[in-house]
Amino acid sequence: MNLVDRAANLKSFLTPRVNLPWLTRVLVFPQCHSTQDEALRLAESRPGLLVTAINQLSGRGRLGRTWVHRPGLGLAATFVLDAAKHDAPTLSIRAGVAVCMACEAVTEPRIPNDYPPYFRLKWPNDVMVPLKAHTKLGPCRKLAGVLIERREGLLLLGIGINILQQESDWPANIRDSAVSLHQLDPSAHPPSLEGVCDQLIRALDHYLFTDRREIRKQFSARDTLTGTQQTFEHNTKRYTGTVECIDPEDAITLRTADGAEHKLPALTTSLVKD
């Protein structure tokens, strides 16, 4: 099926599902450069729009990084939200929790309740999958990302989820660090773009508006950084140490090698990646 037909099918599937107070209309492109840019251009200063594309040519992530997207293999979507009605400081975490829940709904990972959740959150905006599912800490691969941009009184919530990629679909430089839902269980029936979109909308409808206590609980259970050695940057100064706590609404508590405790403001601190 070509890109035009796939876009038409996806729009037909999504149209009856965008009848929510915060989501009222949808546009699906066969191909575009960036769903973030198209959403801003076409929203006409009104929230409630979902823009997605079968192929995104110039997807971007946080801090100017690129988002790799292959035609029809992943979700590239932007939700246009009213900045006055959403909790901007925790929006990335709320969206991350929603992505985790949507992915669990389409894959149904069979992990006992006393183990950590399968889908994890790497503050501030990455959804990760551990290489060893039953471990709290350890190496992970990136499954999805969240990008928040504030423009013209709107919040552009960009979400990218890897769905159908196989190992050969990844560029060599990220082959060992990226993963798709299909790669998690290649023997299972592969998840569909429509199914992931549907579950994502359902999850966002809950987690964008649920109380902060539930968000804190979900984030704490899925947090990949607490207990690990990390480097953060705040006000052009870098701090390296053990992460003791992350409160996405308040501060990152870091203990450096000299025993000093540093509380870095969560909203103005960046995780330094290699």
Same domain, 21 and 147: yes
Residue 67: the pLDDT is 56
**DSSP code string of 192-207:** -HHHHHHHHHHHHHHH
Is residue 193 within 8 A of residue 10, CB to CB? The reply is yes
Same domain, 217 and 241: no
Same domain, 69 and 187: yes
Same domain, 138 and 259: no
Same domain, 37 and 167: yes
Domain boundary among 181, 203, 222: 222
C-alpha distance from residue 31 to each of 5, 17, 27, 79, 268 (Å): 12, 22, 11, 17, 34
Backbone phi and psi for residue 194, each to the nearest 5 degrees, phi listed first? -60, -45
Query: Over 50: is that where the pLDDT of 183 sits?
Result: yes
Same domain, 95 and 38: yes
Same domain, 106 and 62: yes
Q: Write down how long the chain is.
A: 274
Percent of the chain with pLDDT over 70: 90
Amino acid at 144: A
Mean predicted lDDT score pLDDT of the chain? 89
Domain boundary among 182, 203, 222: 222
Is residue 112 within 8 A of residue 126, CB to CB? The reply is no
Can you give the residue range of the structural domain that contains 117?
A: 3-222
Percent of the chain with pLDDT over 90: 70
Query: Over 90: is that where the pLDDT of 28 sits?
Result: yes
The tally of domains found in the chain comes to 2
Assign 134 a pLDDT band (cuts: 50, 70, 90): low
Mean pLDDT of the 155-169 span: 94
Q: What would the two tokens of residue 242 be? A: 């053990």
Q: What is the pLDDT of residues 118-129, one digit of tens each?
A: 899 999 889 999
DSSP-assigned letter for residue 60: B
Backbone phi and psi for residue 250, each to the nearest 5 degrees, phi listed first? -130, -80
Window from 8-12, 18-22, 23-27, 61-65 with minimum mean pLDDT: 61-65
**At 20, which CATH number?**
3.30.930.10
Same domain, 20 and 132: yes
Same domain, 51 and 139: yes
The Cα–Cα gap between 27 and 4 comes to 13
Query: Over 50: is that where the pLDDT of 274 sits?
Result: yes
Same domain, 106 and 240: no
Residue 63: the pLDDT is 47
Assign 1 a pLDDT band (cuts: 50, 70, 90): confident
**Would you call 127 helix, strand, or coil by DSSP?**
strand
Same domain, 198 and 245: no
**At 255, which CATH number?**
2.30.30
Half-sphere exposure of residue 231: CA atoms within 13 angstroms, side-chain side: 6
Strand order through the sheet with 251-256 = 261-265, 251-256, 237-246, 229-234, 269-271
Q: What is the pLDDT of residues 70-108, one digit of tens each?
A: 778 999 999 999 999 997 778 999 999 999 999 999 987
Same domain, 172 and 261: no
Q: What is the pTM of this model?
A: 0.90
